[in-house]
Amino acid sequence: MEGNPITQLAAIDYAIMAVYFAAVLGVGFALKRVMRTSTDFFLSGKSLPAWVTGLAFISANLGAQEVIGMGASGAKYGIATSHFYWIGAIPAMLFVGLFMMPFYYGSRVRSVPEYLKLRFDEKTRTLNAVTFAAMTVFSSGISMYAMGKLFNLLLGWSFNVSVLVSAAIVLAYVSFGGLTSAIYNEVLQFFLIVFGFAPLVYLGLRSVGGWDGLTAKLNAASVANGLPEGAYTHAWQGMTHASTNPIGVEWFGLVMGLGFVLSFGYWCTDFLVVQRAMAADSMTAARRTPLIAAFPKMIFPFLVILPGMIALALTIGAGPGAGLIPAKLAADGTPLIDAAGRAVLDYDLATPMMLVKLFPSGMLGLGLTALLASFMSGMAGNVTAFNTVWTYDIYQSHIKPGASDQHYLWMGRAATVGGIILSIAAAYVAGSFNNIMDLLQLVFAFVNAPLFATFALGMFWKRSTGHGAFWGLVAGTLGAMLHHGLTLAVGAVPGVKGGYFGLVHTYPSELAQTFWTAIVAWTTCFVVTIVVSLVTRPRPESELEGLVYSLTPKPKDQELPWIKRPASLALIVIVLIVGLNLVFL
Amino acid sequence: MSSAEGMDIRVPIGGLFTLLGVMLAGYGLVAGSRTTSDVAPVTNVNLWWGIVMVVFGLLMLALSRRAMGAPPPER
């Protein structure tokens, strides 16, 4: 790779990174002696308190996509990006804690695909397990690729060294300490990210003249971009029509597509996050895991979105090339210019540039360590979910059933090595064939979008059958593909962005297209599952106890103090979240 | 049994943050409030934030000490 690095680190910065890596590895080594059975390794022996699993629940998801991506979206869309939290993640997290965790934890399954096996049948489980395993490997590969590229650009580190060293560290601590090690390090990483980013927001706000100064600068930016004044600092203003808000979606597509289908599909069915709750030491702790996680999660927009908004404020009006966010470069090295004659900004650099420009040596080391931590926690989260699904749902159920527990423990460690090697391979694939990765992410989006319909029907409608679930999932995926293939976002060309089957509708933005693709996939899956279920033979009710809502005794929380009851925690979260939406209306 | 047979995660968190905080605050004292750019206002952010991190780290260590003396939390 060529080009001069954007900044250089001082000895103190390297010392901070070294101390952090030593701590991460130390936790892994210290836990090695505790890993005696496969349950210890894959499910932390179901022994962790709720606050630990709760912080890991959000930290496992806090990969590159979140820290870099949410900063980029903050610079692109402003405070409306908080919809991903306040309409997206939080309601789904409440739902999984209150209503779905009793089935995941109570049925004693070891993974999300295994629930599908108990509730439906082997083919539904295998479909879910295989696509999920593939997806985790590619996500962690993409995470590694993004990290290698970013640190090459910022510090001039070699791409190969960044990828291989971070992979080796994750490999060491996961293969020694299993899920407990991953979860403990996620908690460590959670605090590191909070401590690394909070001062960035403070310094950033001071440099733009506080919230009022930020609002004034962003108002000018929204007018310059043809949006109503206040579009970047109000989350709901202008949501009645796609053309009057920066994300280019109307409220219905946002609430149904993002708030319902995509968020519930991710937070309620993705084993990567559900696995953290399943490691909790009791049913109540498992149910409280996502509810406890919801508190820091709703504050996260201020940590990860606000830096992007401040970066935009520090870019607008600074003159060409002088702003904080650099312009995207064309192949010949000149800045890209859009149709209106403005430079096309490289939004993915918003948060990293904030770190580099606002932090002095010392704090810069802490901030970059937090960034590295987020990359590694994202990678470790994927790898621990991969080794479990591989070992229990693919290896034990199809390749070698009935082996000893020690054999599966060994397989889990081997799968950790295999998963990391595959992730590294995926990182290099991402580097050489960008379109292949876009295509794969698209395919995964098609596979994931219908999932929540399957789980919702499985858990709350006892009549749904295995054939219904399987064909519903297949139809939902095909429905998503068909919808995507027939639509395009304004300005996009047919190809990986859609329109490959012809063009029947044009969406005002790519997000609008994504949200509506999800809505179509969910609805197709929901309808097909119901229709096929009604014409196929249902399972006897005696086999569905503990798996379906109407046939499972309700969890009793009465003996708990009210503050520890899942329902009261959820109520507090709802009040706070409504408040946040009103404040940033 | 908050992971009694393994470890209390508050110990490594407390240790790490205390150490990082001391390093940052110490660097802040030595290097003063020099910043790498003129974007950020002059504040000795290393010193102040280092102190905050030390306080947090010690708090975590104190919590884990207290938990060790107390009976195991209810399941």
Q: How far apart, in Å, do the first and last CA atoms of chain A sit?
A: 45
Q: How far apart are CA A282 and CA A86, in angstroms?
A: 28
Distance in angstroms (rounded) separating the CA atoms of residues A256 and A191: 33
The answer to whether A307 and A74 are in contact (CB under 8 A) is yes
- Residue A362 to residue B37, Cβ atoms within 8 A: no
Name the helix (H) or strand (E) containing A373: helix A363-388
Q: Read off the tokens for B36.
A: 């790498």
Question: Is A40 a residue whose pLDDT tops 90?
Answer: no
Is residue B1 very low, low, confident or very high in pLDDT (cuts 50, 70, 90)? very low
Q: Exposed, middle or buried, A482 (CB in 10 Å: 0-12/13-18/19+)? A: middle
**Of A385-399, A562-576, B60-74, minimum mean pLDDT range:** B60-74
Determine the Cα–Cα distance for residues A154 and A399; give it in Å rounded to an integer. 45
Residue A435 half-sphere exposure toward CB, CA atoms < 13 A: 3
What's the pLDDT tens digit per position in A96-132?
A: 988 888 888 888 888 999 999 999 989 999 999 999 9
Containing A488, the helix (H) or strand (E) segment is: strand A487-489
At residue A348, the pLDDT reads: 85
Tens-digit pLDDT profile for residues A150-183: 888 888 888 899 899 989 999 998 888 888 888 8
Chain B residues inside the 8 Å CB shell of A49? 2-3, 73
Q: Is the predicted pLDDT of residue A318 greater than 70, yes or no?
A: no
Over range A524-547, report the average pLDDT.
90
The rounded percent of chain A whose pLDDT value lies above 70 is: 96
Q: What pLDDT is stored for residue B52 in this prediction?
A: 95
pLDDT of residue B39: 52
Distance CA A116, CA A129 (A): 10
Rg, Å, chain B Cα set: 17
Secondary structure of A291-321 in HEC code, one letter for each residue: HHHHHHHHHHHHHHHHHHHHHHHCCCCCCCC
Residue A56 in this model has a pLDDT that exceeds 50: yes
* Mean pLDDT in residue range A475-500: 87
Mean pLDDT of A23-41: 85
Do the beta carbons of residue A88 and residue A70 sit within 8 Å?
no
A-side interface with B, Cβ within 8 Å? 7, 12, 15-16, 19-20, 23, 26-27, 30-31, 34, 47-49, 52, 180, 184, 187-188, 191, 195, 199, 203, 206-207, 281-282, 314, 324, 356-364, 366
C-beta of residue A84 within 8 angstroms of C-beta of residue A319: no
CATH architecture of A11-321+349-432: Up-down Bundle (1.20)
CA distance A545 to A553: 9
- Please give the structure tokens belonging to residue A28: 């892994």
Smallest CA–CA separation between B12 and chain A, in Å?
A: 7
Q: Which residue in A553, A536, A547, A521 sits closest to A460, CA to CA? A: A547
Torsion, Cα A421 A424 A428 A434, to 10 degrees, reads: 110
Mean pLDDT value across residues A481-492: 87
Q: What is the DSSP string of A515-569?
A: HHHHHHHHHHHHHHHHHHHHHSPPPPGGGGTTTSGGGSPPPP-TTS-GGGSHHHH
- Name the token pair of A480: 């998503």
Give the helix, strand, coil percentages of chain B, each rounded to 5: 65, 0, 35
A15 contact residues in B (CB cutoff 8 A): 23
Torsion A114-A115-A118-A122 (CA) sign: negative
Q: How many CA atoms lie within 13 A of A150 on its CB side?
A: 25
What are the DSSP calls for A163-200, one per residue? HHHHHHHHHHHHHHHHHHHHHHHHHHHHHHHHHHHHHH
Output DSSP code: residue A340. T
Closest CA to A49 of A278, A265, A271, A281: A281
Distance separating the N- and C-terminal Cα atoms of chain B: 8
Residue A329's CB: how many other CB atoms inside 10 A?
Answer: 12
Residue A437 confidence (pLDDT) above 70: no
pLDDT in tens, A287-311: 999 999 999 998 888 898 999 999 9
DSSP 3-state percent helix, strand, coil across chain A (nearest 5): 75, 5, 25
A150 in Cβ contact with A256 (< 8 Å): no
Instruction: Say if residue B69's pLDDT is above 70.
Output: no
What average pLDDT does the structure give for chain A? 85
| C-alpha–C-alpha distance, residues A557 and A577, integer Å | 24
Average pLDDT value for residue range A223-239: 75
Dig out the tokens for A9 from the structure: 């680190």
Over range A12-31, report the average pLDDT. Answer: 91
- The region of weakest confidence among A46-55, A224-233, B20-29 is A224-233
Are A297 and A93 in contact by the 8 Å Cβ rule? The answer is yes
CA distance A347 to A132: 29
Is the pLDDT at A344 greater than 80? The verdict is: no
Residues of B in contact with A282 (CB under 8 A): 75
pLDDT of B14 above 90: yes
Tell me the per-residue pLDDT of A208-220, one tens digit each, with 9 for 90 and over: 888 888 888 888 8
Contacts B59 to A, Cβ<8 Å: none
- Contact: A356, B36; criterion CB under 8 Å: yes
| pLDDT band, residue B3 (cuts 50/70/90) | very low
Q: Who among A7, A188, A357 is closest to B16 (CB)?
A: A188
Q: Are the CB atoms for A428 and A90 separated by under 8 Å?
A: no
Cβ pair B3:A48 closer than 8 A: yes
Question: Is residue B74 scored above 70 in pLDDT?
Answer: no
Secondary structure class of A489 (helix, strand, coil)? strand
SS3 A280: strand
CB–CB contact A49 B3 (8 Å): yes
pLDDT at res. A417: 93
Listed range (A176-180, A360-364, B66-70) with the worst mean pLDDT: B66-70
Q: Give me the pLDDT at residue A211, please.
A: 86
Average pLDDT (A227-255) is 77
Query: Which of B49, B61, B74 is the best substitution to test chain A (most A C-beta atoms within 10 A)?
Result: B49
Class of residue B66 by CB neighbours under 10 A (exposed 0-12, middle 13-18, buried 19+): exposed
Instruction: Say how far apart CA A452 and CA B64 lie, in whole Å.
Output: 39
Whole-angstrom distance, CA of residue B75 vs CA of residue B68? 16
The answer on pLDDT for A66 being more than 90 is no
Q: Please calculate the CA angle A531-A476-A297 and round it to the nearest 5 degrees.
A: 120
Range in A60-74, A111-125, A336-350 the model is least confident about: A336-350
Residues of chain A in contact with residue B46, where contact means CB-CB under 8 angstroms, are: 360, 362-363
Give the one of A19, A20, A360 whose C-beta lies nearest to B45's C-beta.
Answer: A360
Residue of B nearest to A17 (CA): B20
SS3 A63: coil
Instruction: Sketch the domain layout of chain A as residue ranges.
Output: 11-321+349-432, 439-554
Q: Which of residues A435 and A166 earns the better pLDDT score?
A: A166
Nearest CB to B39 within list A314, A363, A366: A314
More confident residue, A277 or B34: A277
For the residues A42-50, what does the mean pLDDT come to? Answer: 82
Burial class of residue A475 (count of CB atoms within 10 Å of its CB; 0-12, 13-18, 19+)? buried
Residue A579's CB is within 10 A of a number of other CB atoms, namely 12
Give yes or no for residue A478 having a pLDDT over 80.
yes
Residue A366 with chain B: CB contacts under 8 Å: 20, 24, 49
Task: Identify the residue with better confidence: A1 or A267.
Answer: A267
CB A490 within 8 A of CB A420: no
- Cβ-based contacts under 8 A for chains A and B: 115
Residue from A413, A392, A388, A414 nearest A403 by CA: A392
pLDDT at residue A2 is higher than 50: no
Of A49-53, A241-245, A356-360, B22-26, minimum mean pLDDT range? A241-245
Chain A residues with CB under 8 Å of B3 CB are: 47-49, 52, 180
pLDDT at residue A265 greater than cutoff 80:
yes
Residue A339 has pLDDT above 70, yes or no: no
Q: Do A199 and B15 touch (CB under 8 A)?
A: no
Tell me which residue in A20, A30, A207 faces B41 most closely, judged by beta carbons: A207
What digits encode the pLDDT tens for the residues A77-103?
A: 888 888 888 888 899 999 998 888 888
Q: How far is CA A8 from CA A68, A83, A155, B23, in A?
A: 20, 36, 6, 19
Higher per-residue confidence, A524 vs A570: A524
Nearest CB to B1: which of A16, A47, A203?
A47
Mean pLDDT confidence for A542-560: 80
Yes or no, beta carbons of A206 and B13 under 8 Å apart? no
- pLDDT > 90? residue A138: no
In this predicted structure, what is the pLDDT of residue A389? 92
pLDDT score at A3 = 59
Contacts of B20 in chain A (CB under 8 A): 16, 19-20, 366
Interval A187-206 mean pLDDT: 90
Task: Report CB contact under 8 Å: A362, B73.
Answer: no
pLDDT of amino acid A259 = 84
Per-residue confidence (pLDDT) for residue A228, from 0 to 100: 75
Residues 6+ apart with CB under 8 A from A364: A7, A9, A10, A13, A355, A356, B36
Q: Which of A12, A26, A358 sits opposite B27 (nearest CB)?
A: A12
Cβ atoms within 10 Å, residue A276: 32
Sign of the dihedral through C-alpha A332, A337, A342, A344: negative
A51: left (phi over 0), alpha (psi -120 to 50) or beta: alpha
ipTM over 0.90: no
Write the single-letter amino acid at A340: A
User: For residue A421, what pLDDT is reported?
Assistant: 93
Which residues in A lie closer than 8 A to residue B73 (C-beta atoms)? 49
**In this prediction, what percent of chain A has a pLDDT beyond 90?**
24
Query: Is the pLDDT assigned to residue A247 strictly greater than 80?
Result: no
Average pLDDT over residues B14-38: 82
* Closest-CA distance of chain A to residue B37, Å: 6
